[in-house]
């Protein structure tokens, strides 16, 4: 079995070398625990190993992701980046294709226009934060990366990051399970290893919308101790499940360090 490293040495050791190829891994936790930083490590490790990356970010613009990564010792600017929101065609084959809210808006407009042409009397309008739009954008990214022919299964390994999935059911959390299944059925491929984040509510410590963890092959949960009690920020990470992996069952202390990024304490 080929394992896909996360880019964090201690975590990869806890996973017997990394995530099984083709897995869907969900990273859960409340805001501020480090979910996005884990995604940055995963994407950066892929780029360094030669894997093309599709990076969906609904939380912030990708230039802010790049700046945060640079501060943590990961320089995305050394790789060819293309944003599907851009009007110009890529001048060279990208190594990472970015899908942010502006890219999703562009794809939603394209889908709506196509629906208008096919059925002028009954036009379906697509929203930027819809699963159908997300699926279309991911398939477009595969085409731009030249990893799949005619929207088929990628012929080489691709890393997919979606940060976060919670944005796609923010107005209807009861639909989370349906949307999660729809996305996985449409985009899950043996040559695609995915890392997706899901928000937990700080007050209830429960997922905002149930469903994503149920379709995941692996779940990495992150949290922090109550800051009013601890009087400091103490972050933690534990692997709740990972298919085909005799993973560590213990919790790891998480530190975020300039120039190093996420550091897990084995002690």
pLDDT at 79 over 60: yes
Element (H, E) at 158: strand 158-163
Of 3, 33, 27, nearest in space to 15 by CA:
3
Query: What pLDDT does residue 205 have?
Result: 57
Contacts for 226 with CB less than 8 Å, ≥ 6 apart: none
Q: Give percent above pLDDT 70 in the chain.
A: 95
Q: What per-residue confidence (pLDDT) applies to 252?
A: 98
Cβ proximity of 194 and 4 under 8 Å: no
CB neighbour list of residue 249: distance below 8 Å, 6 or more residues apart? 238, 239
Beta bridge pairs of residue 222: 237
Helix and strand totals (H; E) in the chain: 8, 12
Instruction: Give dist(CA 229, CA 63) in Å, integer.
Output: 35
H/E element, 103? helix 101-118
Distance, C-alpha 25 to centroid of its chain: 9
pLDDT value of position 209: 55
Checking if the pLDDT of 61 tops 80, the result is: yes
- pTM of the prediction? 0.94
Q: 28 with 195: CB under 8 angstroms?
A: no
With a cut of 60, say whether residue 58 has pLDDT above it: yes
What domains, with CATH codes, occur in the chain? 19-85+93-218 (3.40.50.300)
CA distance 195 to 58: 14
Question: Average of pLDDT values for 55-69?
Answer: 94
pLDDT at residue number 192:
96
Nearest CA to 160 among 141, 182, 177, 185? 141
77: left (phi over 0), alpha (psi -120 to 50) or beta: alpha
Q: Is residue 203 scored above 70 in pLDDT?
A: no
Q: What is the pLDDT of residues 141-191, one digit of tens each?
A: 999 999 987 667 899 999 999 999 999 988 787 888 888 999 999 988 899
pLDDT at 3: 98
């Amino acid at each position: 079995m080929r394992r896909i490293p996360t880019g964090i040495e201690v975590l990869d050791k806890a996973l017997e070398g990394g995530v099984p190829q083709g897995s869907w891994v969900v990273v859960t936790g409340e805001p501020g625990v480090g979910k996005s930083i884990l995604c940055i490590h995963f994407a950066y490790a892929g780029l360094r190993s030669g894997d093309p990356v599709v990076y969906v970010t609904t939380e912030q613009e990708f230039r802010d992701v790049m700046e945060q990564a640079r501060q943590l010792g990961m320089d995305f600017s050394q790789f060819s980046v293309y944003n599907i929101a851009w009007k110009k065609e890529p001048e060279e084959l990208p190594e990472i294709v970015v899908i942010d809210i502006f890219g999703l808006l562009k794809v939603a407009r394209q889908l709506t226009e196509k629906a208008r042409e096919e059925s002028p009397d009954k036009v379906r309008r697509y929203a930027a934060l819809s699963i159908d739009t997300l699926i279309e954008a991911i398939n477009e990214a595969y085409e731009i990366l030249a990893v799949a022919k005619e929207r088929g299964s990628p012929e080489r390994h691709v890393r997919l990051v979606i940060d976060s999935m919670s944005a796609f059911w923010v107005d209807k959390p009861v639909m989370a399970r349906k949307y999660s299944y729809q996305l996985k059925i449409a985009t899950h491929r043996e040559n695609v290893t995915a890392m997706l984040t899901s928000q937990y509510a700080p007050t209830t410590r429960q997922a905002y919308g149930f469903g994503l963890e149920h379709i995941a092959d692996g779940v990495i949960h992150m949290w922090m101790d109550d800051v009013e009690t601890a009087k400091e920020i103490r972050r933690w990470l534990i692997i709740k499940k990972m298919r085909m992996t005799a993973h560590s069952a213990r919790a790891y202390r998480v530190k975020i360090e300039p120039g190093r990024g996420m550091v897990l304490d084995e002690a």
